[in-house]
Each structure stands twice: as C-alpha cells, then as structure tokens.
Amino acid sequence: MRRVVVCILFSAALNCASAQVKKPVRQQPVVLEKKPVTQWIGILAGPNLNSLRFHDNTTTIEGANAGLHGGIFYKKDVNMNLCFQPWLLFSVRGGEINDVDSTINATLSYLIFGVTDKCSLCA
C-alpha cells in the first residue's frame, strides 16, 4: 500500500511540475531585409568623333573621322559614400595624313583601361 501512495504522490508531483513549464511560443519567421545592389556589370558603347592636326615642313596631318567605341565596366560600392568603377574601352580613331607626294588614310585602334572613383558627400 505504501508503494501505491508513493507512486501516486510522485506522479502528482510530476504533473504539478509540468504545469510550471512554459509552453513554447511560436516565433515569427525571420525576414531578411533586401540590401541595395552594391555591384554592377555593364556595357559602354557610342560614337567617337575626333580631329587630327599636325603641320611640319614636309608632312601635314589633318582631318576628322567618326568612329565607334565600346567596352565593359564593373562598379563596386565600398560603402554608402564611395564606389570604384574600373572599365575597359576599345576605341577606333583616325584621319588623313598628307605627305609631299601621297595621302594616307590612317585608322588607329586603342584599348583603354581606366578606374573611376565616385564619392558622395551627402548620403
């Protein structure tokens, strides 16, 4: 009989102890904030108008030419106020070269690499 009473008291104590436990609270799902895009890859293209002028005793380089240029760039934001933009540009330029006894149409092709840094004072 004594065992039965001890078992009943033990199970009652466990039942009371479980009443003290808080029920788990259902948490809201974590929503990640979208960060602004901090890097870009793009293309550059457009017309190129140029003019050549050089005068010497025997040679005259003079003329205007229309060409094209095109390339790619990559923009990377460092922080809210500063970003760097390296770019690679292919450009075609040229003009006429008038020598004493001949005229030559010259076309020059350039591959240009540059880095632009942009700083914003007001964010």
Residue 34 has pLDDT above 70, yes or no: no
**In this structure, are strands 39-55 and 60-77 parallel, antiparallel, or unpaired?**
antiparallel
42-90 per-position pLDDT tens digit: 999 999 888 777 777 777 777 777 888 999 999 988 887 888 999 999 9
Q: What is the mean pLDDT of residues 9-33?
A: 67
String of b and e for 94-104 (b: at least 16 CB within 10 Å)?
bbebeeeeeee
| pLDDT band at residue 25 using 50, 70 and 90 as cut-offs | confident
- Domain residue extents for the chain: 27-119
Nearest to 63 by CA among 109, 110, 106: 106
Residue 19 has pLDDT above 60, yes or no: no
- pLDDT value of position 109: 86
Extract the tokens encoding 83. Answer: 């970003």
Q: Which amino acid, residue 120?
A: S
Ramachandran assignment for 36, one of left (phi > 0), alpha (psi -120 to 50 degrees), beta (any other): beta
- pLDDT value of position 74: 94
d(CA 40, CA 26): 40
